[in-house]
Structures are given as C-alpha cells and as structure tokens.
C-alpha cells in the first residue's frame, strides 16, 4: 500500500501551476504505478557534492521544469540578497548533450531573467570547464550548467557556481538550499524577459581554448605524437580538438562514430571514461593506426580517461590516480626546469585520492592540501590561498584534474592537452608514458589503489547504504586482513582516533559522511556514499617501495594481492549485497 503522505504530495501536482501534460503524467502514476510514484515523490532533490542530479520525470525527486524552476527561483532570490548593491546581477548558463538539456537551460534563463537578472546563455552545448571559465571572463555573479556528467541517459542535473567560477561551498551552498526550500512552486516566475538574455558562443570558445592552450610548457615531440580522441557523444568535441591544434598537436584522430553529440550515447553502455568499455572504440582505432595515446572525456567534459601503451605495447587505461600522479609530476618538473619553483607552490587533492601526489609534491618542495571529495573543495582552497601561494594543479581519483586556476572545476580539456604533452615528451626521450609512470614509482613511492562501487537505488537502497555506514562505525574491526587498524578518521563527527596512543584529535574538515581506516602497514580504506549517485564506495590504497624499474611487475603483483585481501575483508565485514 502506498503511503498516504506520498499520494497527498503527488496530488498537489494535479492543480496549477503545473501544466496539463505534467498533471496527466502524475495522475497516471497515482492510478497505476505505485513504485514509480513513491520514488518520484518520497523526497526532494537536494544539492550534493556535484549539485542537483537525478532521473528526469515528474515529481519532487525528479529533474523537471518545476524542480529546476524552484531551484532557480531560490538561486535568484539568494543572489539578490547577496548582491543587492550591484547595478546588474549577471549569470552564465550552459548545458550538455543530454535529452531536455537545451529546453531546461532555456527554462532556467527565463526564470532568472524574469527576476531581473541578466543571463548569458550559450548558443549550444558546451564543456563544463568552459562555463566555469566564462563566469570570471564575463564578470558574472554565478553560473549554471545543465548536466548529469557521466550518469546514464535517463539522468540530468543542475550544477551551480559562484562568482569565482567554483561550485557552491559554505555558506553559499546552505544559503541557496535554504532559499530554494522557501520557494513554493506557485512562486516561480517562468515568464522570461528576452531583453535580459544574451546568446554567447564563438567569442567565449576562442578565449577559453586560447587560455587552455597557453598552459602548454614545451613543443618537443608534438608533431610526432599520434593521438586518438573521443568525446563519447558529448561536449568536448567543442573544445578538445581546437585546444590541441592551438597547442601544436597536428596528428589527432577523432573517433567519428562518437563525435556527434547524442543524449542516447548509442555506442556505449555508459559514457564514463572510468570504464574501459567506454573507450573500446578509441582503443581499437589506436591499435589500427598505431597511435601513442587515447584521450576520452565524459559528456560534460570534466572527467578524462587516458589510455597508453604498457610495457608489452598493449593499450591500457590508466586509472584516475595514475593520471593525476603523472600530471602532478609533470607540472612540478616543468616548473622546476623553467626555474619557476619558489617553494610557495601547492597542489590539492581529495581525501580519497592517492597519497602519491603528496609524496611527489613534497619531493619537489611544494605543499599539498587535502579536502573532501568534490572539486568545489579544491576551488575553496585556491580561493583561500589566493595571493599567498600559487596553485599548480589538483585532482581526485575519479578521473578529474584541474591545471592552474583559470578554471575552478575539473577540466578534461586542459588536462587532456597536458597528458598529450607528457606522452610527446616521453616519446622524445625514447620512452612511453607508462614507463614515465614507473619512473615516478621508483623515485617517489609505489602506490596502488582500487575501488568497490555498489549501486543501491531507490528508498530501500538509501536505507541499505545507511546501514553499511553505521556498521562501519559501530563495529569497526581492530584488524583487517591480518593488519592492525591503528587509526580511524570519522569525518561525520570530525574526530580522528589514534588507537595506538588511545587519543583523539579534531579534524579540520567540514562534516561529511565518510570514514577512513588506517592500517599498520600504511594501507588505507575509505567508505563513502556518493553525493551524486545512489552508490556507496569503498576505496583501498596500499603502498611499498620500488627499488628499480626491473622489479615493477613483481612488486605490482604483490600490491595487487594486498588489495584483494583488503577488498575481501571489507566485503565480509561491511557489505551485504
């Protein structure tokens, strides 16, 4: 039997201001589809680590004209309260290739302009990093992009930025959420003012790709490097080829079957470059033409997948930590070679990203700052350090990286450019990019990471994820895979417990539903529910020293064995699938 409160909530959508099409769809759910009705109305969409994201459809827990309108009306109200002394508040809006993204973007533009806010609306789909760039380039107070990143095709989303080009962080995230919570659907002003909407495109494209290409360090080997690029039917087709060309790469092969933007993502099961299957067509093309590197991006072009030839010559997808390690090393090494390292530089990484990045930075005399998952926290560090320390780059394990501070979100365009430059540099030295990675392991430490990601959709899934996290906290083991647990960091309570010294210290992080276990051999296990998907993630990290490159394969097998032992232990301790 469906809960009465859910039916009552749904029946409110059978009257104005909801249009006839919406009313008809809701009535159908009430009459015949109790499970879908419950999922659509049992809660309200809220901002997570990546904004508001969900399945498209009618309901308070769905992405639709009204939930987006409510969010935008709340944002408009908050912007007016924060910038009430400004002559004209300005917002830039972009969107990706997904179904309904363009009409959703137009709806958002209409609501903002109806509230007297000037809107720069991109003429067509654009990469997320370009929207972040455009905010400061155009002197805007906020920015919005309609995107669901790498989620399945039935999803869409709404990501909000502040005037520094970064996603919302405290106090503005809570401020916007509270403002949205105070908006009734009848309060939404949908009748836009066309005089306050300006269509933008080519001029911003030119500025963005030029700024990205300017981050290139050197030209060695660029013309000899063979690149295969795929946009996976997404937005990077308007950015990556142009940036590579400006930076001097001329041997770029685009996977044409995936170059056409398409919200159905017809050639892949999932448009996620974290998954090897997503880059199969690109890798096949690379093998066909003997290319050196494959670059692929997710639909909104913030995540990057990189495949290079391993020691046997086989195209192998690097994981996010490996790509981030290579980028971090290259940025520091090039700054050092050009005499630009003063000891006042820093990198940033999330708490679930490889500690190898910190090791590399330390060895080059640079600082490392850690933050919660999500590039909004890296951007907050940049903002807090502005004028004091120079930001070089930052990354997270989930295939995101940011170079410099001209974009304040993860940026596959500039990261892809520098990955190609690393590959060109390696080739000019008679090496592969994979061999450079092994050199990093020898010089800075050998780290290996893995991830177990478990999808638990719906109301029942949400309860199961809560139960898993509760079990990790209430029944924390003293030993895992034969190794003692020496400390526990619970970011929910912001407490770190040292089990050896039997002491506790306060963590200087915002509260977050994350728990980390540290073992006596330096291994690390992290449990974290996703902020943007119905998933719980378990991250594993092990490490050792690598005396020389000849022992790489043997030591890799040893680390893989340790990872499997930890994964099996956590499955038996915390996971009930």
Catalogue the active-site residues: 149
Residue 146 CB neighbour total at 10 angstroms: 28
Estimate the crossing angle of helix 172-181 against helix 65-82, to 10 degrees.
120
- Residues 487, 476 contacting (CB under 8 angstroms): no
In angstroms, what is the C-alpha Rg of the chain? 24
Closest Cα to residue 346, out of 376, 370, 366, 364?
A: 366
**Closest C-alpha among 577, 279, 357, 317 to residue 452:** 577
DSSP three-state, residue 555: helix
Which helix (H) or strand (E) covers residue 400, if one does? strand 400-403
Which helix (H) or strand (E) segment holds residue 164: the answer is none
Structure token pair of residue 406: 């001209």
Residue 382, helix vs strand vs coil? helix
Contact 192, 109 (CB under 8 A): yes
Measured distance CA(537)–CA(491) in Å, rounded: 15
Contact between 380 and 268 under an 8 Å Cβ cutoff? The reply is: no
Q: Helix 4-11 to helix 20-32 angle, to the nearest 10 degrees?
A: 160
Given a contact cutoff of 8 angstroms between Cβ atoms, the answer to whether 338 and 303 are in contact is no
The three-state secondary structure class of 221 is coil
Peptide bond into 171 cis (omega under 30): yes
**Measured between alpha carbons, how far is 63 from 66 in angstroms, rounded to an integer?**
8
Q: Distance between CA atoms of 552 and 174, rounded to whole angstroms?
A: 48
- Element (H or E) spanning 172, and its range? helix 172-181
For strands 118-122 and 197-200, give the pairing.
Answer: parallel
């Amino acid at each position: 039997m469906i809960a009465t409160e859910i039916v009552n909530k749904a029946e409110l959508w059978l009257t104005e201001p909801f249009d006839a099409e919406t009313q008809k769809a809701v009535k159908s759910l009430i009459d015949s589809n109790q499970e879908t009705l419950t999922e659509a109305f049992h809660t309200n969409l809220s901002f997570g680590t990546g904004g508001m994201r969900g399945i498209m459809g009618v309901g308070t827990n769905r992405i639709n004209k009204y939930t987006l309108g409510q969010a935008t009306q709340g944002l408009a109200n908050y912007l007016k309260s924060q910038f009430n002394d400004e002559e004209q508040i300005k917002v830039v809006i972009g969107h990706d290739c997904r179904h309904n993204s363009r009409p959703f973007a137009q709806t958002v533009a209409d609501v903002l302009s109806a509230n007297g806010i000037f809107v720069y609306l991109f003429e067509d789909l654009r990469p997320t990093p370009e929207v972040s760039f455009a905010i400061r380039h155009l002197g805007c107070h906020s920015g919005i992009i309609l995107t669901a990143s790498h989620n399945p095709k039935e999803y869409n989303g709404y990501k909000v930025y502040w005037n520094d080009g970064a996603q919302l962080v405290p106090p503005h995230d809570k401020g916007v959420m509270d403002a949205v919570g105070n908006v009734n659907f009848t309060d939404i002003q949908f009748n836009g003012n066309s005089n306050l909407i300006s269509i933008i495109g080519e001029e911003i494209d030119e500025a963005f790709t030029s700024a990205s290409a300017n981050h290139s360090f050197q030209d060695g080997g660029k013309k000899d490097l063979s690149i295969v690029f795929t946009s996976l039917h997404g937005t990077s087709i308007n950015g990556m080829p142009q940036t590579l060309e400006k930076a001097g790469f001329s041997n770029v092969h685009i996977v044409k079957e995936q170059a056409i933007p398409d919200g159905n993502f017809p050639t892949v099961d999932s448009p996620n470059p974290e998954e090897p299957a997503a880059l199969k067509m690109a890798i096949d093309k690379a093998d066909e033409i003997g290319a050196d590197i494959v670059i692929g991006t997710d639909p909104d072009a913030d995540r990057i997948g990189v495949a290079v030839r391993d020691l046997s010559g086989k195209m192998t997808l690097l994981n996010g930590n490996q790509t981030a390690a290579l980028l971090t090393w290259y940025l520091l090494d090039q700054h050092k070679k050009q005499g630009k390292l003063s000891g006042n530089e820093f990198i940033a990484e999330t708490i679930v990203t490889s500690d190898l990045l910190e090791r590399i930075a330390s060895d080059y005399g640079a600082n490392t700052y850690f933050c919660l998952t999500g590039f909004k926290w890296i951007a907050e560090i940049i903002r807090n350090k502005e004028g004091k320390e120079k930001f070089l780059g930052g990354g997270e394990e989930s295939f995101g990286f940011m170079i410099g501070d001209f974009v304040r979100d993860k940026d596959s365009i500039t990261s892809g450019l520098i990955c190609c430059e690393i590959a060109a540099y390696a080739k000019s030295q008679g090496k592969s990019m994979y061999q450079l990675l092994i050199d990093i392991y020898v010089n800075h430490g050998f780290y290996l990471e893995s991830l177990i990601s478990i999808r638990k959709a719906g109301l029942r899934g949400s309860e199961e994820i809560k139960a898993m996290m509760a079990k990790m906290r209430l029944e924390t083991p003293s030993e895992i895979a034969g190794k003692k647990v020496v400390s526990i960091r619970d970011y929910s309570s912001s407490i770190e417990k040292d089990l050896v010294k039997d002491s506790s210290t306060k963590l200087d992080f915002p509260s977050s539903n994350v728990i980390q276990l540290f073992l006596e051999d330096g291994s690390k296990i992290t449990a974290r529910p996703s902020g943007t998907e119905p998933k719980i993630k378990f991250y594993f990290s092990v490490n050792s020293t690598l005396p020389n490159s000849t022992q790489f394969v043997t030591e890799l097998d040893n680390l893989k064995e340790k990872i499997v032992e930890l994964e099996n232990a956590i499955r038996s301790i915390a996971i009930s699938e």
